[in-house]
Amino acid sequence: MRKVLVGLSIAFSILMTSACGTQLAVPQVDSKLVAQEQEKQKRLYIERLLDRHKRLGQVSFPLITENEESCEDSVPYYGFHFTSPKMFAEDYRQTVLNLYGDQWTIFEVTPGSPMAKAGVVEGSTILSINETKDFGSQEDVIESLGSKPHSRFELIDPEGIRSFFEIDAVQVCDMPISIEEDSTINAFADGSQIIVTTGMMRFVDDDELALVIGHEMAHNILGHVTRSMANQMIGGFAGLLLDVAAAAAGVNTQAAGMRAGMQAGQSVYSKDFELEADYLGVYYAARAGYDVTNAANLWRKMAQESQGQTNEVAIYSSTHPGSAERFVKIEAAVQEVQEKLAQKEPLMPEEKK
């Protein structure tokens, strides 16, 4: 056995020494240049990440403001996003430090928000909020604002000028809207918040993004998630009864009935829920001042992208059916909104009679 192992070892050594190598003289570069390129790529990643959050915040603000009365709960909102090296993994902290310094920095001031109206500029450093200083974490900054409708900010602008701002918040829908790092073209609501993937944000322009967010807002506000879960539980219970009956007859279904029942229950009214969210989502986007003229084209575009695909936009289309009926109904909703705008009527959706 030992002779066999020795023989294999010799054969492996011969193979490796005779293995084909590279043929071209690839340029040798200074390791410092490699390190500089690594830092450049980290900086571009951070800038792109913050730009996405900035864009999402700016598109979302009119939606959560103009539709606040439709939401069950509201919260005070000042209209800014901040960053700090403390918010990032160790590998990126030095990069953020180079870009923004070691303090808590406001990298986005939402146009039309209380912060913008007060004159706060992007790049300002936060010294204190409501007398709270030395923030150890992102949660500390958020906690300093709490649910206060009025806050006092001590800031240093990019020119080094220190100022105090007394700012009254505006009430908005209590519905956090965040980004998920995922190339899939998707967005979803969980009943209380909205998640938009980076894939979706690359796929749509701002008016289309507003329609996507409006659609998901409608799901939350109309309680579709809760109702879908209830239908799923009812279907699962009905399927469980079939499993029990089969077990009594000596057949082990391995809970197939319950799983099928849950799937069937979840699909009950799912199409109606989507059509309802389409309809109300158009109103939400229009109320927020977005152009909804091409709303149907957004869903057509996603349906076309999904043809023959098993991932990416197909995932969004599979949960948001792309039927001809859907497109025609969205166009009818757009026409309804445009007529109300022309007649200067309130943008209120029609209720079932």
For every one of its 353 residues, what pLDDT tens digit does the chain have, with 9 covering 90 and above?
655 555 556 655 655 555 667 788 888 888 899 999 999 999 999 999 999 999 999 999 999 999 999 998 999 999 999 999 999 999 999 999 999 999 999 999 999 999 999 999 999 999 999 999 989 999 999 999 988 999 999 999 999 999 999 999 999 999 999 999 999 888 988 888 999 999 999 999 999 999 999 999 999 999 877 645 433 433 333 333 343 444 555 445 444 433 343 343 333 336 788 889 999 999 999 999 999 999 999 888 877 766 544 443 444 444 454 567 888 899 999 999 999 999 999 999 888 77
Amino acid letter for position 18? S
- What angle separates helix 270-287 from helix 224-248, to the nearest 10 degrees? 170
Instruction: Give me the residue spans of the domains in the chain.
Output: 37-173, 177-342
Contacts with 122 (C-beta within 8 Å, 6 or more apart), sequence order: 106, 107, 108, 109
Assess contact for 173 and 67: CB atoms under 8 A: yes
Assess contact for 165 and 294: CB atoms under 8 A: no
| Segments in 154-223 forming alpha helices (H) | 198-203, 206-221
Distance CA 33, CA 244 (A): 68
- Of residues 277, 107, 115, the one with CA closest to residue 187: 277
The two counts, helices (H) then strands (E), for the chain are 13, 10
Torsion of CA 53, 59, 65, 70, to 10 degrees: -100
Token pair for residue 171?
Answer: 């009430």
Distance CA 203, CA 133 (A): 40
Structure confidence at residue 213 (pLDDT)? 96
- What angle separates helix 256-267 from helix 224-248, to the nearest 10 degrees? 150
Distance CA 246, CA 258 (A): 12
Assess contact for 265 and 194: CB atoms under 8 A: no
Assess contact for 212 and 306: CB atoms under 8 A: no
Token pair for residue 147?
Answer: 């649910």
Consecutive H or E run containing 286: helix 270-287
Assess contact for 135 and 144: CB atoms under 8 A: yes
Instruction: Report the predicted TM-score, pTM, of the whole model to 2 decimal places.
Output: 0.78
Assess contact for 288 and 261: CB atoms under 8 A: no
Strands (E), 130-217: 150-156, 162-168, 170-173, 177-180, 187-189, 194-197
Token pair for residue 197?
Answer: 């993937």
Assess contact for 129 and 140: CB atoms under 8 A: no
Assess contact for 107 and 80: CB atoms under 8 A: no
DSSP reduced 3-state for 282? helix
Enter the CATH code of domain 37-173.
Answer: 2.30.42.10
Amino acid letter for position 353? K
Distance CA 310, CA 332 (A): 30
- What angle separates helix 270-287 from helix 206-221, to the nearest 10 degrees? 120
Assess contact for 116 and 79: CB atoms under 8 A: yes
